[in-house]
Amino acid sequence: MLLRSLLAAVVTTIALAAPSLAQQSGRELYERRCASCHGPDGAGREGLGPSLTGAGAAAADYQLRTGRMPLQNPQAQAVRKPSVFSEEETRLLVSFVASLGEGPPIPSVDPGAGDLSSGQSLFIANCAACHGAGGNGGAVGNNAAAPSLYASEPQTMAEAMVSGPGQMPVFGFSEQERNDIIAFISYLQTSEAPGGIDIGGTGPVPEGFVGWFFGLTGLVMVLVLLVGTGSSRAR
């Protein structure tokens, strides 16, 4: 009797003290795929990966769903690629990273509630400097590039804004402002470019190339072919 109650007490304490099953397998996954760079307890490793103790679920979800983590080369900028994890594994990893410390949770998004016009001005004022007015991406210095936004999902956009990945700053927008911006980026993604072929949408540099190498060079080539070097002889 005594033995049984003792046993029961032990079992309950173990059950209460031990991490939940989900966290357990989240930790396992983490140790296998992430600890080499971010350290076994998420404190980070010099030159390999930053500390994740303040990263939060938003950062983890962003990095994992866009396939950026696990990184292959810690020196190079993380880029979007297909995710290596299943939906279930992603969720486990995200909640494990979130459990490492205080960090922004996954923000909720509702692009339908966004206001396009406010989104356009917020985007131009805050995002266009790096991602370009058309969202086609641009260089930001320090060997980093702001990627094109044409592949991003609304969820990713919101997470990028609250977690500030890589060289991107954290933006303290209200939920409404985030939805406005997301509505505008989604508009860019789905609307057809008025005026014909969108040549990179990055303005006068590609336009100059087309003007020279299609426009003028094309014209001159035709003239060279048709007129040539002249055949007239003196009479």
Partner 1 sequence: MIRYVESRLGLDSWGRRALRKVFPDHWSFLIGEIALFCFIILVATGTFLTLFYRPDAAVVTYEGPYEPLRGQEVSAAFDSVMRLSFEVRAGLVMRQIHHWAALVFVASTVVHMCRVFFTGAFRRPRELNWIVGFTMLMLALGLGFTGYSLPDDLLSGTGLRIGYSALISIPFAGPYIASLAFGGEFPTENVISRLFVLHVMLLPGLTIALLGAHLAILWRQKHTQYRGPGRSESNVVGKGLWPYQALLSLGVMALTAAVLALMGGLVQINPIWLYGPFDATTVSAPSQPDWYMGWLDGATRLFPPWEPTVFGVTIPSMFLPAVLLPGLFFTVVALWPFIERRLTNDAAEHHLLDSPRDEPGRTALGVAGLLFFTVLTLAGGNDLIALTLDIQVESMTRFFRLAMFVVPPVGGALAYRICRQLRDSREHPLGRGSGVVLRRTEQGGFEEVPRS
Residue 196, SS3 per DSSP? coil
**Residue closer to ligand HEC, measured from CB, 79 or 219:** 79
Residue 24 touches partner 1, criterion: CB under 8 A: no
Q: Which two tokens stand for residue 90?
A: 């992603």
Beta bridge partners of 145: 139
Q: Which stretch binds ligand HEC (CB under 6 A): 18-26, 108-116, 148-156, 186-194?
A: 148-156
What's the closest the beta carbon of residue 65 comes to ligand HEC, in angstroms?
Answer: 9
d(CA 74, CA 104): 24
Contact 155, 64 (CB under 8 A): no
Binding-site size, partner 1 (CB under 8 A): 59
**Residue closer to ligand HEC, measured from CB, 169 or 228:** 169
Q: Which stretch binds partner 1 (CB under 8 A): 18-26, 44-52, 104-112, 142-150?
A: 142-150
d(CA 9, CA 19): 17
Residue 100 touches ligand HEC, criterion: CB under 6 A: no
Residue 23 touches ligand HEC, criterion: CB under 6 A: no
The pairs formed by 84-93 with CB atoms below 8 angstroms and a separation of 24 or more are: 85/29, 89/29, 90/61, 90/64, 90/65, 92/22, 92/25, 92/26, 92/29, 93/26, 93/29, 93/30, 93/33, 93/34, 93/60, 93/64
What's the closest the beta carbon of residue 115 comes to partner 1, in angstroms?
Answer: 9
> For the stretch 91-121, what's the b/e string if a residue is b when 16 or more beta carbons lie within 10 angstroms of its beta carbon?
bbbbbbbbebeebbebbebebeebbeebbbe
d(CA 36, CA 44): 9
Q: Which stretch binds partner 1 (CB under 8 A): 48-56, 83-91, 131-139, 159-167?
A: 131-139
Q: Which stretch binds partner 1 (CB under 8 A): 25-33, 40-48, 94-102, 133-141?
A: 133-141
- Which of partner 1, ligand HEC, none does residue 44 bind to, with CB < 5 to 8 Å depending on kind? none
What residues line the site for ligand HEC (CB under 6 A)?
33-34, 36-38, 48-50, 52, 55, 59-60, 63-64, 66, 68-71, 74, 77-78, 80, 93, 97, 126-127, 129-131, 140, 144, 146-147, 149, 151-152, 156-157, 160-161, 163, 165-169, 171, 181
